[in-house]
Amino acid sequence: MGEVQEDSRVSAAARWLSEQTVAPPNPITAIRQKFSLTALQSCEVCKLAQEIRSGRGKLNG
């Protein structure tokens, strides 16, 4: 799978997670299952989602 597709899935997952009003009980597992990402990518998703929520994310706008 190409890096662009993987980046797209990470971005989509970060947007999804940032829009959740209540975080999933086990976010890494939820992200891995919902978006078919690795554990490392899922951690990146959590980081990006927090940046989006705080207004610092590059996906804002």
Tell me if 58 is assigned to some domain: no
In a domain, 61, yes or no: no
Is residue 60 predicted with pLDDT exceeding 70? no
> Tell me, what's the pLDDT at 4?
64
2-49, pLDDT tens digit by residue?
666 678 999 999 999 999 999 899 999 999 999 999 999 999 999 999
Give the domain range for residue 35: 3-53
Q: How many domains does the chain have?
A: 1
- Which pLDDT score is estimated for 56? 75
Distance CA 54, CA 59 (A): 11
**SS (HEC) of the chain:** CCHHHHHHHHHHHHHHHHHCCCCCCCHHHHHHHHHCCCHHHHHHHHHHHHHHHCCCCCCCC
Residue 60 forms part of a structural domain: no
- For residue 16, the model assigns a pLDDT of 97
pLDDT tops 80 at residue 52 = yes
